[in-house]
Structure formats: C-alpha cells, structure tokens
Amino acid sequence: MATKVATKIELQFGDHAVSEDELVTRAKKAYGKKDIKTLNIYVKPEEYKVYYVVNDEITGSYDL
C-alpha cells in the first residue's frame, strides 16, 4: 500500500506567487455553482490567465 504524500504546489512567475488552493478556490468562485464533480485547471502565466473545465464539459477562465 502506497503512503500518501503531503504536497504543496505554488506557481511562481515574475513577482507573483499563487498557491494550488488559491487557484482551486478562485476557479470554484468563477464557476459559481456547487455541482462540481471534477475540476481541471490550466495556468497560462504568459497570458496571466487561468482556464478551467468543470465536470469535463463546462469551461471558463479568470485572470491571475
């Protein structure tokens, strides 16, 4: 049985830093509904954008 590893992810670019928790929280807020089963997040620092896909069908984005 594999042991669960505690992880921390932080995206750093230029003089900005964004945690994984913040990316998820902001995507959920941008989506605005509670019926989230899956959430995929794609970060494009060069565009200062975060794109997300909810439940493999609903897409959206927000600025970093």
DSSP-derived pairing of the beta strands 10-13 and 58-63 = unpaired
Q: Is pLDDT above 80 for 1? A: no
Mean pLDDT of 30-34: 93
For residue 49, what are the CA distances in angstroms to 10, 20, 21, 25? 15, 14, 16, 15
Residue 35: DSSP 8-state:
-
Counting Cα atoms < 13 Å in the Cβ hemisphere of 41 gives 23
Distance CA 64, CA 44 (A): 9
Report the predicted TM-score, pTM, of the whole model to 2 decimal places. Answer: 0.84
Would you place residue 25 in the very low, low, confident or very high pLDDT band (cuts 50, 70, 90)?
very high
